Each structure stands twice: as C-alpha cells, then as structure tokens.
Amino acid sequence: MKLKIEREKIVFEIKRMQEMGLVINTSGNISIKKDDLIAISPSGVSYDNLKSEDIVVLDKDKKIVEGDLLPSSETNLHVSIYDKYNEVSAIVHTHSLYATSVSTLLQELPAIHYQIADLGGPIKVAPYETFGTEALAIAVAKNLKGRKAVLMKNHGAVTVGGDINKSASRAILLEWLCSLYLLSKNSGNPTIIDDNEIKNVMHQMSKFKKLRSSFLN
C-alpha cells in the first residue's frame, strides 16, 4: 500500500475532527503530500466507517495512483495549495461551525487573541466560489499568502502546515479564535491587537521555540 502511514494519519485526524465537531457527515477533507504523491480523503464516504484503504493516492497531476474511490471534491483546492506553497505538506479543510459563521460576516478575522500569530496574523476570507471548482482553488490559495489559515466565504476553513499535526492543531486553534470573536462581539466591541504587537508575539514565539529545542537537545 502506497503512503500507508499517511493514509492512517488521515483517518485518525478525520475521526478526531469529527469527534470535535469540526466536520460532519462527509463534509471537509484532509490530505498529506509526500514527495510527488498526495494522499487525500475520498468523496462522499461516511467518516464513521472510513478506513485507511479508502484514502486515495494521487500524483501531482491529480491522476489516481492507488485507490478505488473518487478523491475529495476539493482535490483542486489541495493541489493548488501544494503547487503554490512548497513548504506545505498537509492540509485540513473543515466546515466547522464558528469558522463558517465568521466567514459569512467578515472579510478578515482580526487579531482577537495573540495566538493568532501562530497562523501568521489576521486571517483573510477568500471570496465565495462554487465548491470543487478551479475558481475556488485559486481564491483560497491566493488568500493563504503569508498565513497558515484562510476562511472561505459561506463555506468553511483551510489550515496548512509542514505536517498533519500542525495543520490539525491550527484547525482547532482557528475554530477557537472564531468562537472567541463571536462571543466577544456579542457582548460588545472587542479590543483588537495591532500589527506591531503581533510581530512582537511572533518574535517571542520563535524565541521560545528555540529555547524548547535547546532543552530537548
């Protein structure tokens, strides 16, 4: 089986996302890239019964290398991001409640909390396009520039990373940030952190990352 470990990781993360309410029924999708191959969740398959052999393996031209099922309807989106951002090795796309709610209200999720720095700063909302289309793929990839996450107008969210653990943790963080924004906005006008302070936070995060590495070594 090609990309056996990657396929197992996708199944694990999809079921975890399902338990957390970040995906429902067959909505949302996950992929992992390794070398010139992409493992991606299938289209229209219940996550309750999803198995590693259900995960489809594609080449960079979106041709099926291994798998008997139709790949995700958002395959164009995943491939477009991998083509544009070489540093990305895993993508998580959700239809989570709070992220989708924010996508209907804003053009950008502001810095409601300093942890948004882990996503690169305020999160843009890509304009609405029909699901599964090349137009949606282009819009999402464009609005992901300089960030690790993007919201999709009236649709959902995408998070990326150098591995699936990062991408999944960022999906969880983005949902929390969106819930924080909506709850705060419901009570009044929340204070927003300015760009300079977000840069300070990024510097501080980088410093502590190096310190943690030195302790591990």
pTM for the full predicted model = 0.96
Is 74 catalytic? The answer is yes
Q: What's the mean pLDDT in 13-41?
A: 94
- Asked whether residue 213 carries a pLDDT value surpassing 90, the answer given is no
The domain limits of the chain are 4-212
b/e burial code for range 96-122 (CB count within 10 A of at least 16 → b) = bbbbbebbeebeebbbbbeebbbbbbb
With pLDDT > 90 as the criterion, what percentage of the chain qualifies? Answer: 91
Q: Which residue, among 207, 199, 206, 204, has the nearest Cα to 121 in the 3D structure? A: 199
Among 6, 74, 129, 175, the active-site one is 74
- Asked whether residue 198 carries a pLDDT value surpassing 70, the answer given is yes
Summarize pLDDT for 107-125 with one digit per residue, the tens: 999 999 999 999 999 999 9
* 68 neighbors 57 (Cβ within 8 angstroms): no
The CATH class of the 4-212 domain is alpha beta
- Cα–Cα distance measured from residue 97 to residue 120, given in angstroms and rounded to the nearest whole number: 22
